[in-house]
C-alpha cells in the first residue's frame, strides 16, 4: 500500500511538472519523469528486501523503455530556427506557426485594427478585418481565412457576408511571388540551409498543414512554393 501511495504521489507531481514544461520540451521531460518513477520504485523494492521482485520488474520493462526511447529520439525536434516556428508576413498580417503544437498566432500590421493580436479579436472584428483584407490585399485575405479555418473550423463562414462573392480589389492584385527570405521564414530555416534541410522542413510542415490532415490549402500552397523557390 505504501508503494502504491508513493508512486501515485510521484506521478501526480511529475504530471504537474510535465504540464508546466514548454511544448517542445515535453518529450524529453516525459522520459526523465518515467526514469525517476522507475528508479524510485526499484529503490523502494530493493530497500524493503524484495530484490528479486525489483530485478524481475527491471527485466520486464527494459525492452519497453528501449522501444520508447528509440521512438522519442526518432521524433526529435526539427532543425529549424530557434523556437521551431515559421513566419508568414503580408502587407496587413503577420503570422507564426509553432511546428511542435501546430498553433497559429498573429498580429494585425495595417488598417483599423493595426497593432491588435488575433487572439484577442472578437467575431465581429474578425469579419471586419477579413473584409478589409479582401479589399486591399489578396494574400492577407487568404492567410486570415486559413487562420480562421484552423481556429474555428467552418463555423465562422456562416457569419461571413463576403463568402458568396469575393470579387474585390484583392482579386485583381492576385498572389505576390515569394522572395527567398520569405520562403526561408515560411519553412523556418536560416540562410544557407542545405537541400536536405529544405526537403526535411517541407516534409514535416506538410504533415501538419496538408488539407488532408486538417490544414489549409492556402498555407500548403505557400509551403510548396517556398520549397520550389529555395530549390530552384
State how far the Cα of 24 lies from the Cα of 176, in Å rounded to an integer: 33
pLDDT at 1: 54
The segments of the chain whose pLDDT lies below 70 read 1-12, 14-27, 45, 50-55, 57-58, 61-62, 64-83, 162-174, 214
pLDDT at 171: 45
pLDDT at 98: 81
Under 8 Å between Cβ of 38 and 7: no
Is pTM beyond 0.85? Reply is: no
pLDDT at 103: 81
- Residue 228 C-alpha cell reads as 520550389
Nearest to 102 by CA among 65, 169, 158, 150: 150
Q: Output the CA–CA distances (angstroms, integers) from residue 10 to 35, 39, 56, in the order listed.
A: 11, 11, 22
Which residue stretches of the chain are H helix?
2-19, 26-47, 51-74, 123-136, 138-152, 169-173, 180-187, 195-209, 217-231
pLDDT at 216: 76
State how far the Cα of 95 lies from the Cα of 133, in Å rounded to an integer: 14
The CATH topology of domain 85-231 is Helix Hairpins (1.10.287)
Amino acid at each position: 500500500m505504501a508503494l502504491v501511495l508513493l508512486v501515485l504521489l510521484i506521478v501526480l507531481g511529475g504530471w504537474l511538472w510535465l504540464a508546466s514544461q514548454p511544448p517542445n520540451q515535453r518529450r524529453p521531460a516525459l522520459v526523465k519523469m518515467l526514469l525517476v518513477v522507475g528508479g524510485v520504485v526499484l529503490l523502494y523494492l530493493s530497500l524493503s528486501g524484495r530484490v528479486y521482485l525489483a530485478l524481475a520488474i527491471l527485466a520486464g520493462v527494459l525492452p519497453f523503455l528501449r522501444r520508447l526511447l528509440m521512438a522519442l529520439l526518432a521524433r526529435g525536434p526539427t532543425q529549424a530556427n530557434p523556437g521551431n516556428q515559421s513566419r508568414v508576413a503580408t502587407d496587413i498580417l503577420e503570422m507564426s506557426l509553432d511546428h511542435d503544437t501546430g498553433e497559429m498566432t498573429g498580429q494585425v500590421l495595417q488598417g483599423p485594427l493595426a497593432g491588435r493580436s488575433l487572439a484577442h479579436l472578437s467575431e465581429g472584428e474578425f469579419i471586419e478585418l477579413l473584409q478589409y483584407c479582401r479589399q486591399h490585399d489578396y494574400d492577407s485575405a487568404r492567410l486570415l481565412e486559413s487562420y480562421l479555418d484552423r481556429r474555428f473550423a467552418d463555423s465562422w463562414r456562416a457569419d461571413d457576408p463576403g463568402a458568396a462573392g469575393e470579387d474585390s480589389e484583392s482579386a485583381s492584385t492576385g498572389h505576390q511571388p515569394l522572395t527567398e527570405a520569405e520562403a526561408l521564414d515560411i519553412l523556418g530555416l536560416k540562410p544557407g540551409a542545405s537541400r536536405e534541410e529544405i526537403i526535411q522542413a517541407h516534409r514535416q510542415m506538410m504533415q501538419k498543414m496538408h488539407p488532408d490532415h486538417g490544414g489549409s490549402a492556402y498555407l500548403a500552397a505557400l509551403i510548396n512554393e517556398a520549397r520550389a523557390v529555395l530549390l530552384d
